[in-house]
Structure formats: structure tokens, C-alpha cells
Amino acid sequence: MSETREIRTDYLARVEGEGAMLVRVRGGELEEVQFKIFEPPRFFEALLRGRRFTEAPDITARICGICPIAYMASSAQAMERLCGVELTEPVRLLRRLVYCGEWIESHVLHVVMLHLPDFLGYDGAVELARDRRDLVELALRLKKTGNELMRVIGGREVHPVNFRVGGFYRAPTAAELRELVPELEWAREAARELVRIVGALEFPDYERDYVFVALRQPGEYAIERGRIASSTGLDIDVSEYERHFTETHVARSNALHSSLDGVGAYLVGPLARYALNYEELSDEAKAAAEEAGLGQVCRNPFQSIVVRAVETLYAVEEALRIIASYERPSEPAVECAPRAGTGHGCTEAPRGICWHRYALDAEGFILDAKIVPPTAQNQRSIEEDLVGVVRDRLELPDEELAHVCEQAIRNYDPCISCATHFLRFEVIRE
Amino acid sequence: MIAAAVCLGSRYRGDDAVGPEVADRLRAAGARVLECADDPTRLLDLWDGLETLVVVDAVSTGAPPGTLHRVDAGAGPLPRELRLASTHAVGLADALALGQALGRAPSRVVVLGVEGSRFGMGDALSPVVEAALETLVADALAELGIGCTSGR
């Protein structure tokens, strides 16, 4: 007699946007896992057509309230490359600095408020806050440090208004940035503490031999620039992305599924960056990672929470380093004259590489746009993780199985709103 | 009394615009209106030290459009039956619950809601909600302890 088990999570909580998950088990064997994105399509690529090239950063910023800098930086980079313009070094460093702010606020929000409750057995941040006020207060203050960087450089915390193709409308004064130093110094200690806290968690026993994809830039932990590299030896300019990666539509999802040609599913985000760019981390970040039990490569997706905390520490240190040597640039931006052609941009959003392509006419109007956000790229990997996690735990009751599956999905800090073009949960046992 | 208002809504979604419309009028009358377009956990800092928080929003309870609702939530959770809709994972009710768990919430929360009827993209305020605006603003000012309340 065959037994049917069907486990559904209709709306996944503690993720950004709307998605669902279905697991179908027939006769004790795992038959199917689906990770669905049903957040409605948002048509950003279509509404960019006919707009000026200078508008792309402010329009694409609206794709996400958590990681607007990623969209602004990738679109601006695409336009700058097309115009043949290179940022001056101080302006590039300002862009890296504001991006550090986004990494800090996005990572801390996910690590403590969204993901940590899974590990400590709480329903959410509110329940966690009742018992662990110290931890939640630490997270809120740390997150605020990131928001302050966004505010001082970007003009406000969300959807910054001071960001433009070629640089910024106004460069902050050295004094304005130096005011942030005492809080950033507190944040460095707090981030170290956060790494220790999450490093001491118990992690579900699960590893997978991922193909990692991340930006790589010699001499730095790549954030706002770099070539696209993989653990299989890929090393390409961002303009060559479409020759190696393909996006396909699958009926269950409003987000396109990405694959690396000849490989299939691949992983972007903290684990990929950490594996490919470990050597570029600061000594302090490496030491904190080691103390938290990480090797130079981490293949247990549940430990991504530790890697995010290590990256938070790195971002705080990097912010302090940039501010220490900051001199206000004479010009906040490089003027960009449009030309007909195609430009490509790619930067490391907190969740992984965020790739953009724009075609412009000679007057600088956008003819065509393509945006590949990180969560879309990770969809196949999320499903493959779920297969592995469920296959090893079929004996668990549905409720426990659902819990570990949701935790596995949150390993990816999935930004469904960004990916849509996503969470309900179902386990079907037949 | 240390008081401020939080007005929720989108100007581009029909009756949901009632929050921002009330915010404009409250500011003009000298009231303190908290602004938070992003992560509601930021509200914990914004409402630091407040005695009274007035929440203004369009609501959808099934009552006739234009019906005014007033709920004094005290220091407790926001009533779920008002269905303060949020398109985001964390809404005001969650931020308030988080603040209460951390001992960082206003000592009293009053919700002023107006029953909406249309929330489509690009819709204007419905006439019945627009007609309720003046009373809603006067009620909010009274809750905030500003000006006279005889306009009602």
C-alpha cells in the first residue's frame, strides 16, 4: 500500500516577498520538490524602455527596499561602461562604502531577525526579543550603523536619492563620514560578537558540492566591481555572462530559473563569495571565521548565517578603512555622454551577483533592459538543497520536516520581490 | 503629552491614500508625524519616548465605506480584525509587538481607521472617504492633544 504525504507551506514567513513550497512523497520515496514564486511579475525591464539612461539607477532601486544599492550600482556600472567612463578612485571608494552600509543592514536583518529564530526555536523576532532582548538590541543597533552609512552617503536610508550614473550628486565631507567612526568602532566589536553567537549554533548535518559563482577582483573582497568567476574555473568579463548562463521560464514560478551552461544549478551569495574570495578577507574576518568553526570553504548551507556574520564584520572594517583615508573628491561624479550600444554591469548584492544589461540609442534612451537578480539564480540550488534535506529526513513528522525545509530556504535569504519575475509550503505524501 | 502620528498608505492606491492625505494635514497643523518608508523596525527609534501614538490608516472590515473606526489599543497589540494591510513581511503591528517585547513602545496606541472601498492602482480617493477626511484629521488632532475638537 502506498502512503501519500503532502506537506504544504502556503505562505513562507520571514522572507522578502511571496512564495511557497511543495514536497511530494509517494510510497516513502521523495518524488518532487518545488519552490514556487508567485509574487506577481513586476515588468521592470519593460518599463525601463524609453527612459533616459540616467534614470536607470533610481528606477531599478525600486525593485528592492532592502538592497537598492545593488540595483543602483549594477545599472550605473552598465551605463558607465557603455559610455566609456571610469569612476575616479575616491568616487569608486564612496560607492564601495555605501555598498558596505547595505551589506551591514541587509545581513544583520536576515541573520538575527529572520534566520536566527529558526536555530533557537522561536516563531520569529518578536518571540526572540521577549527572551533575548540583548541579542535583538545588538542587531537593531548594528543594522542602524549600516542604515547611517546609507543615509550620510545616499541621502536617505532606503532608495537613496544621491546616487547617479558617474558617481554621486554630492560627495559627503570627510567630517560627515568621521562622525560615523565611533559607532562603526562599536559595530566592529558587535559584529565579532555576532560571529561568535552564530558560530556556536547547532547546524543541521548537510553538505552539498556546490558550483560557486561570485565576482572576483584582485586585491579586494569583490563587492562593487570585478570579473565573474566560478569554482569550475570560469573567469569572464561581465559582458560575457549571457554566453555562459541561460535563463528559462518554469510554469511554477514567476521568476526565471538560471543555469550555468554545462553545469546546471549554481550558487551565488555569501557561501560563493567566501569560497572564491577567502584570501581577500581581512585577517580579523578570517580569524573570526576560524574561531566560529569555518574552513576556507563552507559547503553546509545552514552555516551561511555564520558567513553572513563574517561578511558583516568585514563590511564594518572595510567601512572604517575607507573612511580613514577619505578625502572629499573635487568632483562628485564623472560626466557620462551616452552612445548607442550595449552596456553590462554586475555587483555583489547581499544575496549574490546582480547582473544588468542595457541597450541604448545614440541619444541615451533605453531600448532594451535585462536584469538577473541573485534569488532567481539561486532558485535551482534552493530546490536541490530541499531534495537533499528532505531525502535524509523522510522519517520526520510533517511539521518538523516543514520547519527544516523553511530553514533551508531561509539559508538563501531569498528576496522574492527582487526575483519576481516567490513562498507557500506543501509536502504531499502519496 | 508627547504624541505623534503614523499614517500608513500609498498615494497611488485609491482609498489607501487616506494615510498620506491625513499626514499632510496633520503636519500643516503642527503635529509630529513619523515617517518610515522602509523597514518598520526603524520606528522603534522614531517613537522613542512617546506617550501616545496615533495610527491612521484605511481599513477593510466589511463595514460601509467611509465608516470611521477608533480602537484604543492601550499598551497591547494592535487589533488584527482591523486588518491593517501591509505589502511587506514586517508591518506596523509587528514593529509594535517587537517594541513591546523590548520595552520600547509608546505607552498608548490609538488606531483611527476609515473604511475604504477601492484600492486599485491609480484610483483616486472615493468621494465617501474624501468626505470623511476632515473629521478624521480633527479626531487625530484631538488624540494628539492639538487644537480644538469642536469642528466635529
Domain coordinates of chain A in residue numbers? 4-39+393-429, 44-390
Residue type, A172: P
Other beta carbons within 10 angstroms of residue A120's beta carbon come to: 13
A126 has a chain B CB within 8 A of its CB:
yes
Name the residue facing B102 among A136, A144, A157 (closest C-beta). A136
Contacting residues of B for A65, CB less than 8 Å apart:
37-39, 88
Element of type H or E holding A233: none
Contact predicate A13/A415, CB 8 Å:
no
Domain B3-144: which CATH number of 3.40.50.1450, 3.90.1150.10, 2.60.40.10, 3.40.50.11610:
3.40.50.1450
Q: What is the pLDDT of residues B56-74, one digit of tens each?
A: 988 888 899 999 999 888 7
The pLDDT score that the predictor gives to residue A40 is 56
Q: Mark residue A121 as left, alpha or beta (left: phi above 0; alpha: psi -120 to 50; beta: remaining).
A: left
Contact call for B39 and A15, based on CB within 8 A: no
A148 has a chain B CB within 8 A of its CB:
no
Instruction: Please give the Cα distance from A97 to A92 (Å, whole number).
Output: 9
Instruction: Please give the Cα distance from B50 to A5 (Å, whole number).
Output: 51
The pLDDT score that the predictor gives to residue B92 is 76
Residues of chain A with pLDDT under 50: 1, 420-424
How many Cα atoms sit within 13 Å of B122 on the Cβ side? 0
Instruction: Please give the Cα distance from A101 to A110 (Å, whole number).
Output: 14
CATH no., domain A44-390:
1.10.645.10
The pLDDT score that the predictor gives to residue B149 is 44
Contact call for A136 and B98, based on CB within 8 A: yes
Least confident of A113-122, A182-191, B6-15, B104-113: B6-15
Other beta carbons within 10 angstroms of residue B36's beta carbon come to: 18
Give the residue among A121, A109, A265 at the shortest CA–CA distance from B41: A109
The pLDDT score that the predictor gives to residue A292 is 98
- The answer to ipTM > 0.90 is no
Instruction: Please give the Cα distance from A304 to A205 (Å, whole number).
Output: 13
The pLDDT score that the predictor gives to residue B28 is 94
Other beta carbons within 10 angstroms of residue A219's beta carbon come to: 6
Query: In the numeric block, which cell numbers belong to residue A395?
Result: 522519517
Contacting residues of A for B89, CB less than 8 Å apart:
13-17
Q: What is the pLDDT of residues A236-275, one digit of tens each?
A: 999 999 999 998 877 666 667 889 998 999 999 999 999 9
- Chain B residues with at least one Cβ partner in A under 8 Å: 37-39, 41-42, 44-45, 88-89, 94, 97-98, 101-103
Contact predicate B97/B77, CB 8 Å:
yes
Q: In chain B, helix, strand, coil percent, each to 5?
A: 35, 20, 45
Contact call for A158 and B97, based on CB within 8 A: no
